[in-house]
């Protein structure tokens, strides 16, 4: 089959487009490739629903939601992004196009570059979701 | 010409100043912080001893522990 050819339809009909969680997983894989210092990351729809995560751990997923909820009540305006540094690691959150991405990285990464990569990843996800 | 013991004392104090500057920079870089950016463009760094920063730091600590 040529590379341009479409996949043959399966028994249930034409091959389905990857679902939202699958697309979010692809975005995380791409982000992992861009960020060698990335420890873990998760994509949320809104602030509560974890669509995909690099770690298959319920406690981690709950921690992601807890952080998103903690950030929710900060200030009067709409949150765009946050950068939290501890002695051990750094945590980035970015909201874009109805999705949020939470990423834990090693210490002393380039913050603006990491935030930019996260934002572009979320824009890719939003565009693919819109096109699907 | 400086007496030899003064040369040694100046060298020593110069090294001590370098070491203390290094420690100050290190302490500054290791300082935890919470920086928030809003859609309006406003950015704030939360006071480290405030309730909001403490709550976020608690959530982040759990997040980091589970990401090991």
Q: What is the pLDDT of residue A47?
A: 67
Q: Are B57 and A91 in contact (CB under 8 A)?
A: no
Contacts of B4 (CB under 8 A, 6+ apart): none
Report the SS3 class of residue A41: strand
Q: What is the pLDDT of residue A13?
A: 38
CA distances from B15 to A42, B27, B55 (A): 46, 18, 41
Please answer yes or no on whether B36 and A87 come within 8 Å at the CB atom: no
On average, the pLDDT of chain B sits at 87
Q: Which two tokens stand for residue A24?
A: 């979010």
Q: What is the pLDDT of residue A80?
A: 95
The shortest C-alpha distance from A65 to chain B (Å) reads 9
Q: How many Cα atoms are found within 13 Å in the side-chain-facing hemisphere of A119?
A: 9
Contact residues on chain A for B66, CB-CB shorter than 8 A: 40, 55, 57, 59-60, 63
Q: What is the pLDDT of residue A11?
A: 40
Laid out side by side, the sheet with A49-53 consists of A49-53, A38-45, A99-105, A90-96, A79-85, B33-38, B43-45
User: Hey, what's the torsion of the CAs at A50, A52, A57, A63, to 10 degrees?
Assistant: -40
The whole-number average pLDDT for the span B1-10 is: 80
Q: Give the pLDDT of chain A (132 residues) as one tens digit per residue.
A: 344 444 344 343 344 445 899 999 999 999 999 999 999 999 999 768 899 999 999 999 999 999 999 998 888 889 999 999 998 999 999 999 999 999 999 988 999 999 999 999 999 999 988 876
What residue ranges do the domains of chain B occupy?
A: 1-31, 33-68
The shortest C-alpha distance from B17 to chain A (Å) reads 25
- Give the C-alpha separation, B15 to B56, whole Å: 40
The shortest C-alpha distance from B46 to chain A (Å) reads 9
- Give the C-alpha separation, A121 to A130, whole Å: 14
pTM above 0.80, yes or no: no
Q: Which two tokens stand for residue B61?
A: 């600590």
Q: What is the pLDDT of residue A108?
A: 86
- Give the C-alpha separation, A97 to A103, whole Å: 17
Query: What is the widest separation between alpha-carbon atoms in chain B?
Result: 64
Asked if B29 has any chain A CB less than 8 Å from its own CB, the reply is yes
Interchain CB contacts (distance < 8 Å): A and B = 93
- Give the tens place of pLDDT for each residue, B23-50: 887 777 778 999 999 999 999 999 988 9
């Amino acid at each position: 089959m040529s590379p341009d050819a479409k996949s043959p339809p399966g028994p249930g009909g034409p091959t389905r487009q990857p679902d939202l969680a699958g697309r979010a997983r692809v975005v995380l894989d791409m982000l992992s490739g861009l960020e060698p210092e990335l420890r873990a990351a998760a994509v949320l729809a809104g602030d509560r629903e974890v669509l995909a995560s690099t770690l298959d751990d319920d406690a981690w997923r709950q921690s992601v939601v807890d952080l998103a909820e903690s950030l929710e009540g900060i200030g009067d305006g709409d949150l765009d992004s946050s950068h939290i540094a501890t002695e051990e690691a750094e945590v980035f959150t970015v909201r874009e196009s109805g999705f949020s991405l939470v990423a834990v990285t090693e210490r002393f990464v380039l913050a603006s570059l990491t935030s930019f990569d996260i934002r572009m990843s979320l824009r890719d996800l939003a565009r693919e979701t819109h096109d699907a | 010409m400086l007496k030899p013991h003064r040369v040694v004392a100046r060298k020593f104090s110069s090294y001590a100043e370098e070491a203390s500057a290094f420690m100050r920079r290190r302490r500054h870089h290791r300082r935890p912080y919470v920086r928030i950016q809003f859609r309006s463009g406003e950015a704030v760094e939360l006071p480290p001893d405030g309730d909001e920063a403490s709550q976020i730091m608690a959530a982040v600590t759990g997040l980091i522990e589970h990401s090991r």
